[in-house]
Chains A and B, each alone.
Chain A
Amino acid sequence: MYNFEFEKPTTVAEAVAALSSDEAQALGGGQTLLPTMKQRLAMPEKLVSLTGIADMKGVSASGGTLTIGGGTPHKTVADEATAYPALAALASNIGDPAVRNRGTIGGSLANNDPSACYPSAALASGATIVTNAREIAADDFFQGMFTTALDEGEIITAVKFPIPEKANYQKFEQPASRFALVGVYVAKYAEGVRVAVTGASEEGVFRWTEAEAALSSNFAVSALEGLSVPADGMIGDLHGTSEYRAHLVGVLTKRAVTAAA
């Protein structure tokens, strides 16, 4: 990889200042960014590590909301998000143990990889993305493959998840990358059911509103009978055609409802 300047601030304010220069980039756990830089697909002039900011780490629950610091590694979420078991389970199955010890929730959401697990949890839970500058609803945050509402230099300091009555995440794993070939997250709240799909669409994570409506009136697999997502706009590659991915969305949604119910 090309060389760069390295900084490791200990406060959010210092990190924001360090990121204000051109060509500076935030570094979370580096489990995606460093491999990308090795391939020379990214070449920032400065990396600002967020791993030294104590305020951005940790998991806490109060009043029906689970709050996770943006710099919290997946392993910590897996162990400590006991108030929201479906989310802890998702975190415990990202990548592999070494990746989970370094990779962070803020890094995953900011990158918005179309096959990453966390975006589906944030979208299905109607989470709030907290940054150094503002709060962004998950519905507004994800704006297509690798694209988010974050401004240049804006840092995800925390993510707030409303804890649902029931939830489940089903990941059909691409065994080489350990990313989701397709992943479906179903979350049932008093106000209704939300279903978010990762890995499938060329637009990145999305809500399957038809399934949400059906499940909101009847939270049962039978409610999904006859529903399907169109193959049009689904990712097709050597791991699976767009028809295959569209089919998986239906299958995994049913599995998630069965597991959650």
Chain B
Amino acid sequence: MSQVTMTVNGKTATGDVEGRTLLVHFLRDELQLTGTHVGCDTSQCGACVVHVDGKAVKSCTMLAAEADGASVETIEAQAADDGTLNVVQQAFQDHHGLQCGFCTPGMVMSATALLKENPKPTEAEIRHYLEGNICRCTGYHNIVKSIMAASGQDVDSIAAEVAAQ
């Protein structure tokens, strides 16, 4: 066991980890931050996406020891303290961007990372960026729509809407 210290959602977190402890397990089991989900064992689903030093990573595919000294942000830090949703979360609610919600923490963290680097993404750019996030429920259209809306863009022009008109 060795000790790691990182900043998680603005607070210092310290704990003992094994070499093999994954960041997602440290977050969920040690820090009780269970908003970050584990949807697969193969690094494919993206339910576990968090930000490490501002970058989206799959926390199931990063060792907790590798995050020693880093700043980590999870889904728990997205809403304001009074529960007010951030713009991406609110857009997911408004546009029905989730059904069961299992993929949503990863979707929101990926979407937030995208909008930081590309504030007005096209529909194609959103779909490309979400390639590592799998959703079993929504069929993605409403997720794409939510992210378009969160970036302040018109959502009527996305492919599914055009097809329905």
Residues of A at the B interface (CB closer than 8 Å) are 1-6, 8, 27, 30-31, 34-35, 37-39, 47, 49, 51, 75, 95-99, 101-102, 176-178
Contact = CB atoms under 8 A, between A and B. Distances in A.
Contacts of B131: 96-97, 178
Nearest to A175: B131
Given A3-B19, A96-B46, A97-B132, A102 B62 contact: yes
Given A3-B18, A4-B19, A97 B63 contact: no
7 contacts: A5-B19, A35-B41, A96-B131, A96-B132, A97-B132, A98-B49, A99-B132
Pick the 6 closest A-B CB pairs, nearest first. A96-B132, A6-B19, A101-B55, A96-B131, A4-B19, A98-B58
A51 B66 contact: yes
Contacts of A49: 63, 65-66
Given A37-B20, A97-B110, A98-B57, 16 more contacts: A6-B63, A30-B66, A31-B61, A34-B22, A34-B43, A34-B63, A35-B42, A35-B61, A38-B41, A51-B66, A97-B131, A98-B61, A99-B58, A99-B61, A101-B55, A102-B58
A3 B29 CA distance: 17
Contact of A97 (B19, B56, B65, B68): B56
B51 to A, nearest CB: 9
A123 B113 CA distance: 33
A8 B18 contact: no
Contacts of A27: 63
A211 B94 CA distance: 54
Nearest to A93: B128
Contacts of A97: 56, 110, 113-114, 129, 131-132
A8 B46 contact: no
Contacts of B43: 31, 34-35, 99
B131 to A, nearest CB: 4
Contacts of B18: 3
Contacts of B165: none
B5 interface: no
A32 to B, nearest CB: 9
B6 to A, nearest CB: 14
Nearest to A34: B61
Given A97-B114, A101-B56, A30 B61 contact: yes
Contacts of B129: 97
B61 to A, nearest CB: 5
Contacts of A4: 19-20
